[in-house]
């Protein structure tokens, strides 16, 4: 059997017993005992079994779709997934394509009917285990929030892992102080981002990557791979109250992947927790200015017909509608949000007028309509041609059916004549003997 080895390790698994290397070794030994042919393998490291958006699982699915795999080999079914419903659906997806899942340590095979009950029970156990672990992790994290324990300090600080003390990171703190100073001096958030990029100030993502040795989340970069300050990253610095020394956490709760934002009276506040970078007076002045400059919400009602439908091919950002005034006339144009917020160092200037889009859409709809009319006319012509030829074709079919009956009668006569001749020959042969 052609098998694909799949391994997975989450952050709550035993790294020695369930390491990716150990899982692979067990699966390879199992395949060798059975005489299976290993056609490929994939793995997911530090990924929860409740999450089915995994790179290794996508590679497995691609191999299944191309018909390269007869079976999937895992150390145990929990490696495939811990979400009971999602795992069952994925197993059904594999069954429909003739691919079985074989558990090396549990001896289970999804193509054996006698294993269906055990697989169902295992799914319930794996699902319960994952939810129980998640509940314990959330409880422990909540307790750390109550006690004021910081896991990852905000930009401008670093945590001494030996003492647990939060200290100021001088380079980042200077950038924070500069952002607040420029904003109170009248600079907008886009202008501040432009100046920080021109000065080469390190971004939060850049410092995080240097500290961790890798990028831990999606980051904004220029086309040549340089880290970039954006409107949003500056805004995040300006609203962060930690720079006044206050730790505020438990702002939201996550349950089954759904985030619930809590009211301020449910937050946990710890005064005097961080070293102060920005005074309370400065921070409050920034909040007042942000509130004054905030645009009123439109109730999430789209006012522009192409909003959310256009995407920049160069940077992947959506096009946002902008109202322009020219010589007393108002017009709407859609511009690349990446360029609008971050400037030409992030993306080129792309814009298109709403009237141009209207013309393009009308041209396309007109072409579709004309094509439909032509196809309808062609169908009508074919129907008329068929109506004219139908009596002739019906008569031809009737003649052919009569000819078929005639030929079948002749065949029957030949067979009867052949059978009679064979019987006479056999009688003569018996008489001579």
Does position 45 have pLDDT exceeding 60, yes or no? yes
pLDDT computed for residue 183 by the predictor: 92
Q: How many angstroms separate the Cα of 290 from the Cα of each of 180, 233, 286?
A: 12, 15, 6
Q: Encode pLDDT of 191-211 as tens digits.
A: 898 899 888 888 888 888 887
**Average pLDDT value for residue range 164-184:** 91
pLDDT computed for residue 32 by the predictor: 92
Q: Which two tokens stand for residue 345?
A: 């160092």
Does position 392 have pLDDT exceeding 90, yes or no? no
How crowded is residue 335: how many other Cβ atoms within 10 Å of its Cβ? 20
Does position 382 have pLDDT exceeding 70, yes or no? yes
Higher pLDDT, 225 or 168: 168
For residue 312, give the H/E element and its range: none
pLDDT computed for residue 229 by the predictor: 85
Does position 35 have pLDDT exceeding 80, yes or no? yes
Calpha distance 158→171 (Å, rounded): 11
Radius of gyration of the CA atoms of the chain, in A: 36
Residues whose CB falls within 8 Å of the CB of residue 156, separated by 6 or more in sequence, listed in order = 168, 169, 172, 173, 175, 176, 242, 243, 277
User: What 3-state DSSP class applies to 265?
Assistant: helix
Binned at pLDDT 50, 70 and 90, residue 300 comes out as: very low
Our CA angle for 307, 308, 314, nearest 5°, is 110
Q: Which two tokens stand for residue 116?
A: 């269906």
pLDDT computed for residue 98 by the predictor: 92
Strands 157-159 and 252-255, how do they pair?
Answer: unpaired
Does position 213 have pLDDT exceeding 70, yes or no? no
pLDDT computed for residue 4 by the predictor: 93
Q: Encode pLDDT of 247-278 as tens digits.
A: 888 777 776 667 788 888 888 888 888 899 99
**Average pLDDT value for residue range 110-130:** 82
Backbone dihedral region of 245: left (phi > 0), alpha (psi from -120 to 50 degrees) or beta?
left
Binned at pLDDT 50, 70 and 90, residue 425 comes out as: low
Alpha-helical (H) ranges within 185-230 are: 189-199, 204-212
Does position 432 have pLDDT exceeding 60, yes or no? no
Beta bridge partners of 319: 336
Alpha-helical (H) ranges within 213-348 are: 231-239, 280-293, 337-342
Q: What is the overall mean pLDDT for the chain?
A: 83
Q: What percent of the chain has pLDDT over 90?
A: 26
Higher pLDDT, 370 or 298: 370
- Which burial class, exposed, middle or buried, applies to 230 when counting CB atoms under 10 A from its CB (0-12, 13-18, 19+)? buried
Calpha distance 409→404 (Å, rounded): 9
Q: Encode pLDDT of 230-240 as tens digits.
A: 888 899 999 99
Calpha distance 347→341 (Å, rounded): 10
pLDDT computed for residue 433 by the predictor: 44
Residues whose CB falls within 8 Å of the CB of residue 109, separated by 6 or more in sequence, listed in order = 100, 101, 102, 103, 115
pLDDT computed for residue 430 by the predictor: 55
| pTM score above 0.75 | no
Binned at pLDDT 50, 70 and 90, residue 298 comes out as: low
């Amino acid at each position: 059997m052609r098998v694909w080895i799949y391994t997975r390790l989450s952050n709550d698994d035993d790294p020695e017993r369930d390491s990716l290397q150990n899982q692979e070794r067990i699966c390879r030994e199992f395949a060798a005992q059975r005489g299976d042919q290993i056609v490929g393998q994939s793995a997911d490291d530090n990924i929860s079994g409740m999450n089915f958006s995994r790179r290794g699982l996508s590679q497995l699915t691609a191999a299944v779709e191309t018909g390269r795999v007869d079976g999937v080999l895992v150390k145990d079914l929990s490696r495939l997934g811990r979400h009971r419903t999602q795992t069952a659906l994925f197993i059904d997806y594999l069954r429909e394509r003739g691919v079985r899942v074989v558990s090396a340590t549990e001896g289970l095979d999804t193509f054996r009917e006698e294993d269906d009950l055990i697989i169902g029970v295992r799914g319930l156990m794996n699902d319960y285990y994952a939810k129980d672990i998640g509940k314990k992790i959330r409880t422990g994290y909540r307790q750390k929030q109550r006690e004021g324990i910081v896991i990852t300090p905000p930009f401008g600080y670093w945590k001494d892992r030996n003492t647990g003390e939060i200290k100021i990171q001088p380079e980042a703190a200077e950038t924070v102080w500069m952002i607040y100073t420029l904003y109170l001096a009248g600079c907008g958030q886009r202008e501040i981002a432009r100046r920080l990029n021109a000065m080469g100030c390190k971004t939060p993502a850049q410092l995080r990557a240097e500290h961790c040795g890798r990028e831990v989340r999606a980051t904004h970069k220029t086309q040549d791979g340089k880290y970039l300050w954006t409107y949003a990253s500056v805004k995040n610095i300006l609203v962060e109250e930690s720079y006044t020394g206050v730790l505020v956490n438990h702002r939201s709760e996550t349950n089954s992947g759904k985030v619930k934002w809590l009211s301020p009276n449910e937050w946990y506040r710890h005064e005097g927790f961080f070293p102060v970078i920005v005074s309370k007076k400065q921070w409050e002045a920034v909040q007042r200015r942000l509130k004054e400059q905030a645009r009123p919400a439109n109730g999430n009602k789209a006012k522009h017909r192409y909003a959310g439908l256009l995407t920049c091919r160069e940077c992947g950002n959506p096009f946002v509608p902008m109202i322009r005034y020219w010589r007393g006339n108002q017009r709407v144009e859609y511009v690349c949000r990446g360029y609008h917020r971050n400037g030409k160092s992030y993306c080129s200037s792309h814009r298109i007028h709403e009237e141009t889009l209207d013309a393009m859409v009308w041209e396309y709809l007109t072409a579709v309509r004309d094509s439909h009319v032509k196809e309808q006319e062609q169908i009508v012509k074919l129907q008329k041609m068929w109506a004219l030829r139908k009596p002739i074709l019906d008569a031809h079919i009737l003649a052919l059916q009569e000819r078929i009956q005639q030929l079948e009668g002749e065949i029957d006569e030949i067979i009867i004549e052949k059978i009679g001749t064979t019987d006479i020959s056999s009688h003569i042969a018996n008489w001579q003997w």
